[in-house]
A and B are shown apart, each in its own frame.
Chain A
Amino acid sequence: MFLNPIMMKRFADTMFGSGVQENCCPCGEESYNYANIYESDNGYIVKLALPGVKNEDIDVNYSDGILEIKAHRNVDVSDDVQKLYINRKSFDFTRKFKLPNSIDVDKIEAKLENGLLTIDIPKSEKAKPKTIEVKVK
């Protein structure tokens, strides 16, 4: 059976869907390399949404101030099922981030949980804000 993408979409709408705009996670486009970066007093975190990616399909490296993230997924289907509607994409990307000097390189940690990759990047001790007590005489 050969169906072009537009026909496939129409087919899904009538058979299954309600004609809605799907969010190819996470941003509605065909790309999965989008990242969120957060900062706190203690460090930074980088988050990427990588549904369906296994631990072994992710590579996180740090070298010379650059954090490099590689990830891929193959959306494979066995031949004994019939494909009615396919909208989840395969992907393969590398993304690099320049990190500030004020981090503790040895304590960078990455974890993958429920399709969400979180990289913890603690600040080095001297970069953390300190409260200095002022003594009033």
Chain B
Amino acid sequence: MTEKYLIPAVDIYETEDKYIILADMPGATKDSIEVSTEDEILVFSAKVSEVDKEWKPLDTEFKLYDYKREIRIGNKIDSDKIEAKYENGVLTLELGKSEQIKPRKIAVNIA
């Protein structure tokens, strides 16, 4: 069986010291949310809860599957500085920028 999942819609913002990702993931179970980084790719996923068997579908206009999305982050993120929060069906990830990409002032020596 091939794995079927939804790729959540995201917004991505940037501030001076971090990136913020918001992902629409309604119906996910909080315990199942996983966030990881590997090989410069950020992966987040979650499982959704099923409706009890006693409920027979009369009309199905949308389907919920487990969520998964991979985002290439390159060397932009310090993986020790990732914070995740799930509220009202929206996953918020705050990703601290890695030191090497933060803007820095370069002293100019004028001889």
Contact = CB atoms under 8 A, between A and B. Distances in A.
Interface of A: 12, 15-18, 20-27, 34-41, 44-45, 47, 49-54, 75, 77, 80-89, 112, 114-116
A40 B54 contact: yes
B57 A17 contact: no
B22 interface: yes
Contact of A116 (B13, B14, B20, B26): B26
Contacts of A89: 9
Contacts of B89: 49-53, 114-116
B23 to A, nearest CB: 8
18 contacts: A15-B72, A22-B10, A25-B6, A27-B62, A36-B61, A37-B57, A38-B55, A40-B54, A45-B55, A52-B90, A54-B88, A84-B12, A86-B11, A87-B11, A89-B9, A115-B24, A116-B26, A116-B89
Interface of B is mostly: strand
Interface of A is mostly: loop
B56 to A, nearest CB: 5
List 10 A-B pairs, minimum CB-CB distance, nearest first. A115-B89, A115-B26, A26-B62, A51-B89, A38-B55, A34-B61, A51-B24, A49-B26, A85-B12, A51-B26
B52 to A, nearest CB: 8
Interface residues of B, number: 41
A80 B57 contact: no
B86 to A, nearest CB: 8
A37 B59 contact: yes
Interface in B24-80: 24-30, 51, 54-64, 69-73
Given A80-B15, A81-B15, A115-B90, A35 B10 contact: no
B10 A38 contact: no
A47 B27 CA distance: 10
A114 B28 contact: yes
Given A26-B26, A40-B55, A51-B24, 5 more contacts: A22-B10, A23-B7, A37-B60, A49-B64, A115-B24
A82 to B, nearest CB: 4
